[in-house]
């Protein structure tokens, strides 16, 4: 899960992630930039979405086997993933608007960018929340797996 989240939040966009022909254009309109960022982030999101579907199934099974505490721990992670999706959507909308959405509220812009961009030290508030959510699940599940 960590690797998939990190890949989704990677601040560096590789050229091969962009739509064909995007880099060759001499200038990009807000519409083209929005489409390019949507292409990049929804392709990244798709991998995370597939994993969360598997995670949801596994967490339901774990709850049935080990009790309801795992549900609360899983909800912490789902909350973070939902916040990431909302931030990706806000970022893409801002690109389509030519930056107008974020121009009015710099604090919101910084909050969104902090969520979609993995920090180099991993000490930002969102990275810590993700790490804590994952560690909470691991800590709860590990003893059960050792018995299996």
> pTM for the full model?
0.89
In a domain, residue 21? The reply is: no
In a domain, residue 18? The reply is: no
Please check whether residue 101 is in contact with residue 94, taking contact to mean a CB–CB distance below 8 angstroms: yes
> Mean pLDDT for the chain?
92
Predicted confidence (pLDDT) at residue 2 exceeds the cutoff of 70: yes
pLDDT 10s digits, 110-128: 999 999 999 888 889 999 9
Predicted confidence (pLDDT) at residue 148 exceeds the cutoff of 70: no
In a domain, residue 87? The reply is: yes
- Distance (Å, rounded) from C-alpha 63 to C-alpha 54? 14
Please check whether residue 134 is in contact with residue 2, taking contact to mean a CB–CB distance below 8 angstroms: yes
Domain enclosing residue 81, as ranges: 2-9+27-147
pLDDT 10s digits, 36-76: 999 999 999 999 999 999 998 988 888 888 888 888 999 99
In a domain, residue 104? The reply is: yes
Q: What is the mean pLDDT of residues 21-48?
A: 92
**What is the per-residue pLDDT for 134?**
94
Predicted confidence (pLDDT) at residue 17 exceeds the cutoff of 90: yes
In a domain, residue 31? The reply is: yes
Calculate the CA dihedral of residues 8, 12, 15, 18 and round it to 10 degrees.
40
């Amino acid at each position: 899960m960590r690797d998939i989240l990190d890949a989704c939040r990677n601040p560096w966009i590789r050229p091969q992630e962009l739509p064909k022909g995007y880099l060759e254009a001499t200038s990009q309109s807000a519409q083209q930039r929005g489409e390019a960022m949507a292409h990049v982030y929804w392709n990244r999101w798709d991998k995370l979405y597939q994993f969360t579907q598997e995670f949801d199934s596994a967490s339901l099974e774990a709850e049935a086997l080990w009790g309801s505490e795992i549900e609360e721990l899983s909800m912490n992670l789902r909350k973070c993933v939902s916040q990431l999706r909302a931030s990706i959507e806000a970022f893409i909308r801002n690109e389509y608007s030519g930056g107008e959405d974020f121009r009015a509220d710099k604090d919101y812009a910084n909050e969104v960018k902090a969520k979609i961009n993995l920090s180099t030290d991993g000490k930002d508030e969102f990275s810590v929340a993700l790490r804590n959510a994952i560690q909470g699940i691991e800590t709860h599940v590990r003893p059960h797996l050792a018995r299996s």
